[in-house]
Amino acid sequence: MQRKELLENGEIYHIFDRSIADFIIFNNQNEFERMRQLIKYYLVEQDLRFSDFLELKLVAREGFNSAVNIVTKDSDPLVQIIAWCIMPTHFHLVLKQLKVNGISDYLRKILESYSSYFNAKHKRKGPLWESKFKNILVDSDEQLNHLVRYVHLNPTTARHVESPEEWLFSSYREYIGEISDNQKVCQFDDILDIKPNSYRKFVTDQVSYQRELAQIKKLLFD
């Protein structure tokens, strides 16, 4: 797939990247949570390293999300997060670019930070990610709706869980109203008209079909 330069503000992209050789890089809740926190923390340009931010008394006193909101409240975000999902070997993000090169700068910080954390924790060296992240331009509302559903169905398609709300590391529960506003990572209300009950049906009605498609694809390429 040919990458396009991400230079157009206001455009929405499906962003994804995976580990080298499908190596499992999110092994437990702490590692998934670390990535989720990075996704939220680097929404704005940060001079303070993430590891140093975690040591602030503000984080211990206010909690992670509230502390991030406090330190970033006067800063303009690089991107708008519309949807996200972290899987054991890869991740998906649906992002709207708000600043020139905002997506590239945002992803660079996240990938570098998580690589440093993972390598130090597991006493390994070298690159963690397969390549520079991939992107696909989203050019219609219909495409966006189906893309967000696809992202939220990743855990069920891979049979990690039976229903998408069981997977704690995606934005699906934000969409169906099970996450408080203070804990949300996404901002999608100005882009998608989401009604929790209708969206739940829109997603769960597709669980079996998306699993079938994934199986067909696997058979074709095996």
Establish if 115 belongs to a structural domain.
Answer: yes
pLDDT digits (tens, 9 = 90+) for 6-58: 568 899 999 999 999 889 999 999 999 999 999 999 999 888 899 999 999 89
pLDDT digits (tens, 9 = 90+) for 161-186: 999 999 999 999 999 999 988 889 99
Here the CATH number for the domain that contains residue 199 is 3.30.70.1290
- Quick check: 36 and 65 in contact, CB under 8 A? no
Establish if 90 belongs to a structural domain.
Answer: yes
User: What mean pLDDT comes out for the span 132-148?
Assistant: 92
Helix (H) or strand (E) holding 197: helix 196-204
pLDDT confidence bin for 3, thresholds 50/70/90? very low
More confident residue, 47 or 93: 93
pLDDT at 216 over 70: no
pLDDT at 212 over 80: no
Q: How many helices (H) and strands (E) does the chain have?
A: 9, 4
Q: How far, in Å, CA of 178 to CA of 33, rounded?
A: 17
- Quick check: 14 and 6 in contact, CB under 8 A? no
Q: How far, in Å, CA of 14 to CA of 134, rounded?
A: 8
More confident residue, 133 or 82: 82
Establish if 100 belongs to a structural domain.
Answer: yes
pLDDT at 222: 44
> How many Cα neighbours within 13 Å face the side chain of 172?
25
Determine the structural domain holding residue 115 and report its residue range.
12-221
Establish if 168 belongs to a structural domain.
Answer: yes
Establish if 1 belongs to a structural domain.
Answer: no
Cα angle 159, 124, 167; round to 5 = 20
Establish if 165 belongs to a structural domain.
Answer: yes
Establish if 88 belongs to a structural domain.
Answer: yes
Domain count, the chain: 1
Share of the chain above pLDDT 90, in %: 74
